[in-house]
Every structure is written in structure tokens, then in C-alpha cells.
């Protein structure tokens, strides 16, 4: 197995882990919301909890997906097309990560030190 096929395999595995994390985050969010429903929590509290937990799963899954794309892109012969595609993918996923983090935490990532 050469380095290119190994990198492709690792990238694909990271993509699968990312998808698995997102799916499991959705399932865990649903189960948590259902438990809160059984505990007769308010609808607003259930919604906020579901959304926050789902956002965390999506954020973690996106990190794995970006890692898979980076590994696949850098191991091959980089040309302007592959680098351009990687830049667009990383920019879109980074934008999604920042906006999801804003949704989950209620503040921008660079505001972590503030209370």
C-alpha cells in the first residue's frame, strides 16, 4: 500500500467517523430530549437542550470531516484545483463550526474568557 492510498483510506475513515459522530450526536440529543419530556421539563428547556446537544455533535463531526479532507488533499500532488477545493471546503466548514459554536454557547469562540 503506497502513501497515497493509505492517506485516502485514513481520510475516508475520518469521514466515516465524522458522519458517525454526527448521527450519534443526533440520536443522543433525541434521547436526552425524550428523557426530559418524560421528566416533564418545559418545552423550551427541552428545545434548548436538544439544540445544544445536537450542535455539539455536529461541531465534533465537522472537525473529523475537515481532518479527512486535509489529509486527502495534502498527501497527493497539490495543484491549484485541489488546493482551491480544499480552501473552499475548509472555509465553509469553518464558517459552519463558528456559527454552530455561537448557537451552542451563545457567544463567539474568541469570547471564551469573558463571562
For the record, the C-alpha cell of 113 comes out as 474568557
pLDDT tens-digit series, residues 52-62: 889 889 889 98
| CB distance 27 to 96 below 8 Å | no
pLDDT tens-digit series, residues 48-89: 888 888 988 988 998 898 888 888 877 777 778 878 888 888
Length of the chain measured in residues: 115
Q: Which long-range contacts (CB under 8 A, 24 or more apart) does 14-19 make?
A: 14/64, 14/65, 14/67, 14/68, 14/71, 15/64, 15/65, 15/68, 15/69, 17/64, 18/61, 18/62, 18/63, 18/64, 18/65, 18/67, 18/68, 19/61, 19/65
Of the ranges 13-22, 59-68, 77-86, 91-100, the best mean pLDDT one: 13-22
0.85 exceeded by pTM: no
Amino acid at each position: 500500500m503506497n502513501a497515497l492510498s493509505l492517506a485516502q483510506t485514513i481520510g475516508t475513515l475520518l469521514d466515516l467517523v465524522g458522519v458517525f459522530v454526527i448521527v450519534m450526536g443526533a440520536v443522543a440529543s433525541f434521547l436526552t430530549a425524550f428523557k426530559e419530556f418524560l421528566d416533564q421539563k418545559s418545552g423550551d428547556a427541552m428545545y434548548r437542550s436538544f439544540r445544544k446537544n445536537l450542535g455539539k455533535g455536529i461541531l465534533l463531526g465537522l472537525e473529523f470531516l475537515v481532518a479527512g479532507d486535509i489529509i486527502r488533499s495534502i498527501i497527493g500532488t497539490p495543484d491549484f484545483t485541489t488546493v482551491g477545493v480544499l480552501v473552499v471546503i475548509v472555509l465553509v466548514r469553518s464558517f459552519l463550526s463558528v456559527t454552530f459554536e455561537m448557537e451552542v454557547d451563545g457567544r463567539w469562540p474568541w469570547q471564551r474568557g469573558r463571562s
